A and B are shown apart, each in its own frame.
Chain A
Amino acid sequence: MSAGGTNAFAPGFYEGNRPRIVTSRFGMEDSHSLGRYVATGGYDGLRRALARPAQEVHEEVRSATVLGRGGAGFPAGTKWGLTPQDVWPRYLVVNGDESEPGTYKDRLLMERDPHQLIEGCLIACYAAGLSQCFLYIRGEMALAQERVATALNEAYAAGYVGRNILGSSFSVDIVLHWGAGAYVVGEETALIESLEGNRGMPRLKPPYFPAAIGLYGQPTIVNNVETLSNLPWLMVNGAAAYTAIGTPTSPGTRMVAVSGHVRRPGVYEIVNGTTTFRDLLFGEGFCGGMREGRSLKAFVPGGGSAPWFLPDQLDLPFEASQVGPAGSMLGSGAVMVMDDTTDIPKAALTLTRFYAHESCGKCTPCREGGTWLERILSRIVDGKGTDADLDQLLEVGQSICPGAFPHASSERLGISAVPFPYRMNTICFVGPSAYAPVHSALTLFREEFEARVTKRVHIPVTAVGASR
C-alpha cells in the first residue's frame, strides 16, 4: 500500500512501501484479536523459541543487536546478560508508559497488536529466565489497557500465557499493571518504584541498575514495548534477516512519530540507520515536506529531551553514532518540526514547562531549577523579561548540567557542534530535559529572545536575611 491517507484503524499511522517488522498488522481492522494474530503467523515465534534451549534464544537476540526503543538505545540481548549469576527470581517489566513529548508508537503497538507484544514478553522471559512479567501501561491510555487486557485474557485461555505454556515446562504470568499519570515513571527505576506502590521517584545510580537490583530488590529487565514487539518477527525470521535491514550498528526498523508543521504528520516504521531526517520530513513516502508555503526552521530529533537540530542537520541518518557527535540524540523516535512561523521562546517554554511540571521533586536542581527556568522563560514570553534573564537562564542551567551543553552546528551562526552527552547534577534526565530546549533555543535563536526583553540594570537581592 502506498503512503495514502492515514490508516483508518491506526490513527496517524502511514504504512508506506517499506519493510515492516512491528506494524505488519496495522492495516487490519481486527489486528488486535487472537484469531487474526494467529492467522497471520502469531505465536510462531514463541513456538520456535520454545523448541530451542533458552540460552540459544538469548544468543539469537543478542546477535541481532535489537536496540532498545525506549530512549537509551541499549541492545536488549546485552541487557539481559547483565543480571548477576544465580540470583532468582528475575522479573521482566515492560515499559509502556510512553509519555515523552512527541512520542507516539508504543500506544499504537499496544492498541493494534497486543498479542505481538505479549509474544515478545514471553520470548524475553523464556530466553532470560524471567519468571514473572509486569506490563506497565500508561494510566491515561484507556484503549491500550482494554486491548492488552482482552488479549491477555484470550492468551491465558488459549494456553499461550501462564502455566506450562504450549505444553512446555515454561510457565510465566504476565500481569497487566497501569499507571496514573506521571511522566517520570517512564524512567526505569521510577517505573519499578511505581510498580512497588510508591511515589514514582527514580532510584539512585550508582550503584544499582535494575538488571542487578530492581523490582523487590531482584534482578529486573526493563524493556520498552517496541523493543519487545520486535522479538516475534526475529524468532521467525532469524537474526540474519533482522540485521539485513538497516546498518550493523542500527539494524532493523524503528517507529518514528513526526509531529508539528509538516504536511503529513504521522507515525512511520522506518529502516534504522539509513533513513535520514530529510527522507523523513520531506520524502514522499513520509511527511511530504513542510506545510504549504512554509520552510523548516528547526526540529527536535529525538523527543522533547533532545537538543534541537536545524536544517543543517537534515542529512543525518537515524544512527546514534552520527547524531550524538552532531549534538543531539535519537531518544524515543519522536521528531517535532517547527516551521518559519514558530515563536521559538514560546515553543521552548512548552517543553520546559512540561519537564518542570513532571519533575518528581527529588533532586534540588530539577525541582527548583526546572521551575525557575519555566518562570523566567514565561516572563520573557510575556514580554516582561530583561536582558539579565537570558544569562540567568544559562546560569540556572549550569546548576542542572555543569559545563558545556550539547548543541547543533549552524552555518548561519558560524558555530560548530558540541557533542552529546552532557554532564548532570541530577539523578535522571528530567532535570536536564527542562534545560535542553532552553539551551537550544537560546543558542540557536538568541535574537528572538533579545527582541523580546528590555535592557535593565540587575539589582541583587540579598540571600540570607539573618544578620550575625
Chain B
Amino acid sequence: MSTTETDAGEMPEVPADPNAVSISINGRTVQARKGELIIAAADREGEYIPRFCYHPRMSPVGMCRQCMVEVEGPRGPMMVVSCMTPVADGQVVRTETEQVKRAQEGMIELLLANHPLDCPVCDKGGECPLQDQAFSHGPGESRFVEEKRHYEKPIPISDLVFLDRERCILCDRCTRFAREVAGDPLISFTQRGNNTQVMTFPDEPFASYFSGNTVQICPVGALTAQPYRFKARPWDLEQRESTCTTCSVGCRTVVQSSRDELVRYQGVDSDPVNWGWMCDRGRFNFQSVNSEDRLDTPLVRQSGQLAATSWSAALDAVAREMRSAGGAVAVLGGARGTNEDAFMWGLLADAVGSNMRDAQLDDGLPAAVLGLPQATIDSACSAGTVVLLAPDLKEELPVLHIRLRDAATKRGLRIIEVSSHDTGLTAHAWRSVRCEPGAQADTVRALLADPAVSSQLASGDVVVVAGRANLAESAEHTVAAIDALLAAVPAATVLPVLRRGNVRGALGLGLAPSAGNDAAAILESAANGRVGCLVLLGADPLSDVADADLARRGIAGARFVVAIDTFMTQSATHADVVLPAAAYGEKDGTTTNLEGRVSNVVQKITPRGTSRADWMVAAELLHMLGKDAGVATLADVQKLMATRYPAFGAAVSSAEVRRNGVVVTAPAARPAASAPAVAPRSSYDFRLVVSRKLYDKALGTAKSPSMANLAPGAAVIVNPLDAERVGARDGAGVRVSNAHSSLVLPLVASASVPRGTAIVPFNQPGADIRELVRRGDSVTDVRIESI
C-alpha cells in the first residue's frame, strides 16, 4: 500500500524545455529534468529503486544507502546514491545489476542486524517497507549473531505517538519532517554512531500538530500512533481515497476501516493541496465517528423530554412545523456536510420560501469575499508576496500553514503578516506587524506607505490570505483591510481562509445568506420571535457563536428547533426534534475546499444506527412538503445540482474529482467595505482577541479519546509587562470583565502578545469568554484585575 510515496507528477514534460535531459535507465531512454534526482526520474518512469530515507517531499539525506544504483562513469560503472545524484544528459543508469543487488542485500542485512524482528506483534507488520524489502531485496538470512541493541520498549513521545527505538533504522524521516516540514524540531537524533537514537528533550514531548505524519512516513514500526496501535492488521484493512473535511484545506486522505469500523486515515500526496501531509486533528478524529456517544435514532420532544422516535414520526413533525412557519424557516449550518447535502438543503429552503440561511455562524467573513478574484493554495505559494490578514494558520488550517511555510523557507515567497500577536508563520515572515483589533485597515495603509513594502508588492504576484482572526471584533475590519490592499494592488487575488470543512461549498450551493440576513441577524430575528422553524444543520450556535447571549436568545426565541447532527450538541439539547446525521466516512459525496476545489468524500462504513446523510433528509422533507425534487440517489442529486450550478456539476462528474479535485469559483462583485468606527481604548483596558487553537471543545476532538485532553484550556494571555502591571503571576487567576459580564481566567504571560492586547482562546474548557462578546461591538475591550 503506497500512499504518500506516489510521485504526484510534479514535473510536467514540456518537449522544448531547455532543462530537459535524456538519460537511460536499464537500457530505456527517458526524459528527465536537469537537477532532478535519479530516484525521482526512475519513480516517474516506473523503475522502482528501493529506499528508506528518501521522501519526495523532503530534502534528500542519503542516510540509508539502500538506493544505490550503477551509473556508467569515465572509469567504468560507479555505484552512486540515486537519491542524491542528479541526472545528467546521456547518463546511463542501471538499477538491477549484480553489483546493485549485492549492495541492496548488504544494506538490508546491516539494517536487520540490530532490528528486533518482532514483525508479528508490530503495527507495521504487513505494510512495512523494511519487511517487504527484506523479502524482495534481502539476503534471506542474517549472519549477525551478536547481541542486538536494546532500548526500553515503546515509549510515548507525545499523547499521540509512541517510539520504539529498537525498530528504528535511523532514516531521518521523522526528524527531518519535524524540522523541515512541520517546523517543530522537538525530536532529534541524539547520541552518535551505533548508539544514535531518535529522542525528545527530557520532559518536552513531541507535541507537534503534525506528529501523525511521522508515523505515516516511518518506514518501519518505530513510530506508532496511539489511536491505531493494535487496532488492525494491514491485511484486514479496506480503504478508499477521500478528502478530509475537518477544516477547509481539504487534505486528500485514505480512509481505512476494519470490520466496519474506521481505524485510520493516511495522507495522500495531492500536489495542489496537501502533499501527503495531514494535521493530527484531521488524522485522528476518526475516533469520534466510532464514539459510543453518537446519536443513532431520531428524538422528539415530548412533555419536555427528548424521546426516541421513528424517522417518519420525526420528519412528520418537522414538515408540519415548516409548513406552519410559512416563510419563517431558517437554516443555519451546512458547512460540515457535503456539497450535495448543502445543495439539497438550499433547495428545501427555496421551496419553503425561506430567506434565512447561513452556512457560517457569525464566525467567518461575509460570504461576499468569495466574489473577489480568487487565489489557490498553489498560486499563493508561488506568488512573490502573500499578505496575511488571517488567523494563525497553524492553529486553524494547519496544512495550509505547512504549504506557506515551505514556500517561505524554500521557495522565496515573502510573507507580510498583519496580526494581533505572533503566529506560527511570524518567524518566516518577511515583515510581521502587530496590530490592535480594529486597526487592520489603518495598519495596511501604513504598510503600503513603506517604500520597501510597496516595491515588494510591485515585484510580483500578490495574494491576500484573508480570514477571521478575532471573534471579538467586527468582521468588517478585515474586509476593510482587504479593501485597502486591493485598492493599492488591484491585481492582487484573495485566498479566503474560512475554516469549516465545506463552508465554501455550502455558501456556493444555496446556503449563503441573503443581503443583511446572516446568522447573527437570523438569531436576532429568532430572539424576536420571527423564526418559526430553526434548522441547525450540523450547527451548534450555543457553542460556536461568539456572542453567547445572542445565541441563547435566538435558540430560546425560535418557535421550533430542529437539530441535525452526529452528537447531542449543546444546542441540540434545546431542540424539539433531533435527527441523527451520518458522519464523515459514512456517506459519499463531494466537498469544496477553501480554494473552491471540489473533490470527493467517500462512505467507508455503515452509518451509525439509523442516521442518514443530510441530503436524504432534505429530499424526504421536500417530498413530504409536496415539492419532491425527484432524487433517490446521490447521482440524482448531482445531476440536479449540475442543472442549477453547471460549474459544480462539471467538476463533480469529472474523474479529477477523485484525485486532485477541480477548482470552481464563481465570479462576483467586490464587496463594499467600511470599517466600523472604533472607540479609543482606555489605558486601563485590554483590547480582546478571541482566536482559535487547533484543539478545543469541538466534538471531533472532544469525542476522540486520544485528543480529548489536548485542548490547552481557557486562559487570558498577555504580555509579561502587562502581567506585571496587572500584578498577577503566570498561572494566577485574574478577573476579566467589561460592561457585559465578568469571569475569572488563569493568566499566561507571553512575549508573543504585544502590550495592550489580551488573547483568549476560543471554545476551551473553563470559563467562557463569549459572555463578554457582543455582536454589535466594533471591538471588545476588557479590564484585567488580579484577585
Contact = CB atoms under 8 A, between A and B. Distances in A.
Direct contact of A and B (CB under 8 A): yes
Interface of A: 182, 199, 204, 206-207, 356-365, 367-372, 375-376, 379, 388, 392, 395-396, 398-399, 402, 423, 425-427, 458, 460-468
A464 B193 contact: no
Contact of B65 (A361, A365, A398, A458): A365
A393 to B, nearest CB: 11
B764 interface: no
A411 B284 CA distance: 70
Contacts of B119: 464-466
A204 B61 contact: yes
Contacts of A467: 120
Interface residues of B, number: 54
A130 B65 CA distance: 35
Given A361-B192, A367-B196, A375-B146, 17 more contacts: A199-B189, A204-B60, A356-B194, A361-B195, A364-B63, A364-B66, A376-B146, A399-B110, A402-B106, A425-B103, A425-B107, A427-B62, A461-B145, A464-B134, A466-B117, A466-B120, A466-B125
Contacts of A365: 65, 106-107, 110
Which of B65, B66, B103, B170 has the most chain A CB within a 10 Å cutoff?
A: B65
B135 interface: yes
A361 B196 contact: yes
A367 B195 CA distance: 9
Contacts of B690: none
Interface in B36-81: 60-66, 68, 78-81
Interface string B81-106: 10011100000000000010011001
A427 B61 CA distance: 10
B138 A463 contact: yes
B65 A368 contact: no
Given A204-B61, A368-B194, A464 B86 contact: no
A363 to B, nearest CB: 5
B118 interface: yes
Nearest to B143: A392
A367 B141 CA distance: 20
A399 B120 contact: no
Contact of A461 (B102, B120, B142): B142
Most central of B61, B63, B112, B142 by chain A CB within 10 Å: B63
A376 to B, nearest CB: 8
A402 B170 contact: no
Nearest to B195: A361
B109 interface: yes
Contacts of A379: 146
A73 to B, nearest CB: 20
Contact of A464 (B113, B135, B189, B191): B135
Contact of B84 (A207, A356, A468): A207
A460 B84 contact: no
B522 to A, nearest CB: 56
A368 B191 CA distance: 15
B306 interface: no
A114 to B, nearest CB: 30
Contacts of B12: none
A180 B80 CA distance: 32
Which of B63, B86, B194: most chain A CB closer than 10 A? B194
Contacts of A388: 143
A35 B757 CA distance: 61
A151 B579 CA distance: 83
A361 B193 contact: yes
A460 B141 contact: yes
Contacts of B146: 372, 375-376, 379
B460 interface: no
Nearest to A181: B192
Contacts of B140: 463
A372 B193 contact: no
A318 B66 CA distance: 38
B135 to A, nearest CB: 7
A399 B196 CA distance: 20
B193 A356 contact: yes
Given A363-B65, A364-B64, A367-B170, A463 B192 contact: no
Interface centre among B64, B78, B80 (most CB of A within 10 A): B64
Contacts of A427: 62
B371 interface: no
Contacts of B571: none
Contact of B142 (A207, A425, A463): A463
A371 B139 CA distance: 20
Contact of A367 (B60, B99, B108, B193): B193
